[in-house]
Chain A
Amino acid sequence: MESMILQLSYLIGSVTFIMGLKMLSHPDSARKGNLVAAAGMTIAIFATIFLYKHNGESLHNYLWIFGGLIIGTVVGTIAAKKVQMTAMPEMVSLFNGMGGACAMLISLVEYAKPEEKSTGMLVVIALGMMIGTVSFAGSMIAWGKLNGKIKDRTIPGGQLINFVLFGGLIILDSMVIMGLSAGNPMLFYGILILSALYGILFVMPIGGADMPVVISLLNSFTGVAAAFGGFLYDNPVMLTGGILVGSAGTILTILMCKAMNRSLKNVLIGSFGGAKAGAAAGNKDQGAYKEISLNDTATLMAYASKVMIIPGYGLAVAQAQHTCHELEKVLNEKGVEVLYGIHPVAGRMPGHMNVLLAEADVPYEKLLEMEDANDQMGGTNVVLILGANDVVNPAAKEDPASPIYGMPILEVEKADHVIVNKRSMKPGYAGIENELFFRPKSSMLFGDAKKVLQSLVTELKQM
Chain B
Amino acid sequence: MEAIINLFTDAATYRLITIVILSIFLGIEVISRVPSVLHTPLMSGANAIHGVVIIGAIIVMGEAPSNDYVALTLGFLAVILGTLNVVGGFVVTDRMLEMFSKKKKK
Q: Which residues on A are within 8 Å of B, measured CB to CB? A: 13, 17-18, 20-22, 24-28, 30-31, 33-35, 37-38, 41, 44-45, 48-49, 52, 54, 57-62, 64-65, 67-69, 71-73, 75-77, 79-81, 83, 85, 88-89, 91-92, 94-96, 98-99, 101-103, 105-106, 108-110, 112-113, 118-120, 123, 177-179, 215-216, 219, 222-223, 225-227, 229-252, 255-256, 342, 344, 349-352, 354-355, 358-359, 361-364, 367, 369
Contact = CB atoms under 8 A, between A and B. Distances in A.
Contact of B50 (A81, A223, A232, A369): A223
Nearest to A47: B55
A67 B95 CA distance: 26
B76 to A, nearest CB: 5
A112 B70 contact: yes
Contacts of A249: 43, 46
A251 B31 contact: yes
**10 shortest A-B CB distances, which residue pairs?**
A72-B83, A59-B62, A68-B79, A247-B27, A350-B39, A76-B88, A76-B87, A241-B52, A80-B91, A351-B39
Nearest to B6: A120
A351 B41 contact: yes
B80 A41 contact: no
Contact of B88 (A77, A178, A222, A358): A77
Interface in B37-73: 37-64, 66, 70-72
A52 to B, nearest CB: 6
Q: Which has the most chain B C-beta neighbours within 10 Å: A243, A249, A342?
A: A243
A362 B106 CA distance: 11
A55 to B, nearest CB: 10
Interface residues of B, number: 88
A99 B39 contact: no
Given A231-B16, A248-B46, A64 B24 contact: no
B46 to A, nearest CB: 5
A165 B35 CA distance: 37
A310 to B, nearest CB: 15
Contacts of A246: 24, 27, 50
Contact of B74 (A28, A109, A242, A344): A109
Given A24-B38, A350-B36, A252 B53 contact: no
Nearest to A44: B55
B64 A109 contact: yes
Contacts of B75: 61, 64, 105, 109
Majority DSSP secondary structure for residues of A touching B: helix
A113 B61 CA distance: 12
A49 B62 contact: yes
Given A34-B90, A242-B50, A106 B38 contact: no
B56 A95 contact: no
A227 B51 CA distance: 11
Contact of A25 (B34, B76, B87): B34
Contacts, number: 396
A129 to B, nearest CB: 12
Contact of B3 (A57, A94, A109, A120): A120
A102 B43 contact: no
Contacts of B36: 342, 344, 350-351, 354, 369
Given A69-B79, A215-B43, A369 B16 contact: no
Contact of B53 (A25, A31, A62, A222): A222
B40 A102 contact: no
A252 B39 contact: yes
Nearest to B24: A247
B92 A91 contact: yes
Nearest to A104: B78
A72 B37 contact: no
A69 B59 contact: no
A226 B41 contact: no
Nearest to B4: A177
13 contacts: A31-B100, A59-B58, A72-B86, A94-B88, A177-B3, A179-B3, A244-B26, A245-B46, A252-B31, A252-B43, A351-B41, A355-B40, A364-B103
